[in-house]
Amino acid sequence: MMDNLQKIITERRAVFPRQYNTQPLSKETIQKVLASANWAPTHKHTEPWRFKVVYGEEKLEEFARFLGAAYKATTARFVQGKYERIMDKVCRSSCILLICFQRDPRARIPEWEEIAAMAMAVQNMWLTAASMGVGAYWSSSGLRHEVGQYVKLQEGERCMGFFYMGNYDGQLPKGKRGALTDRVDWL
Ligand SMILES: Cc1cc2nc3c(=O)[nH]c(=O)nc-3n(C[C@H](O)[C@H](O)[C@H](O)COP(=O)(O)O)c2cc1C
């Protein structure tokens, strides 16, 4: 069990839409990924993670058009290639989860603890996806700030990025990390 978990942790990679194939993810697979998010730990059980699921060709195309238009409307320097890449990434994905965060209305704990819990929920999803051979990555694109114009966000709810997902073929590259010894002091 432990070895298996270590393997999933170290072999999990950011897998980008350009690497995805056209084989769609099943709804069941997406449900499993989402269910693992819900098991992240939280201080005071605030469970601040919220997800909006963009799934199916029609919805993905709609979201691609939205993001393209949002880029056009907000960029200081429009670049046609970037505009096309933004939309292409969405259309190459099988599913995109809009990662949202709901601040506790009673502010019982510091906000950073809730953001930390939300990130743990994302890591759960990323590891679950990796364990099933599903490609995924978290993008913190500045366009996340525009998501409130695409879906209704509650009071105190913010979008923290996009979790792109898709099937892929072939091997993933080996990950790179600095030396642990530079980062740990045994006291
Ligand atoms: C909070 C967060 C935001 C990220 N945002 C981006 C992003 O906007 N663009 C991108 O290419 N990768 C993004 N990544 C993915 C990282 O680039 C990737 O995880 C890192 O390069 C390490 O690679 P690995 O995950 O394959 O080990 C993000 C990761 C995290 C945790």
Q: Domain coordinates of the chain in residue numbers? A: 19-55+96-167
Give, as one character, the DSSP assignment of residue 24.
P
Distance CA 113, CA 109 (A): 7
DSSP string for 118-176: HHHHHHHHHHHHHHTT-EEEEE--GGGGGGGGTSPPPTTEEEEEEEEEE-B-SPPPPP-
Token pair 């700030």 in the structure block, residue: 145
Pocket test for ligand 1, best of 99, 118, 127, 138 (most atoms within 8 A of CB): 138
pTM value is 0.97
The tokens for 78 are: 């429009």
Ligand 1 centroid from CA 3, angstroms: 24
Residues contacting residue 27 through CB under 8 Å, at least 6 positions apart? 55
Span 46-87, pLDDT tens digits: 999 999 999 999 999 999 999 999 999 999 999 999 999 999
Ligand 1 centroid from CA 137, angstroms: 7
Topology (CATH level 3) of domain 19-55+96-167: NADH Oxidase (3.40.109)
Span 110-153, pLDDT tens digits: 999 999 999 999 999 999 999 999 999 999 999 999 999 999 99
Instruction: Look at the alpha carbons of 73, 74, 79, 82 in this order and tell me if their dihedral is positive or negative.
Output: negative
Name the band, by pLDDT with cuts 50, 70 and 90, for residue 1: low
Which atom of ligand 1 lies at the shortest distance from residue 13's CA? Answer: 26
Q: How far out from the chain centre does Cα 69 lie?
A: 21
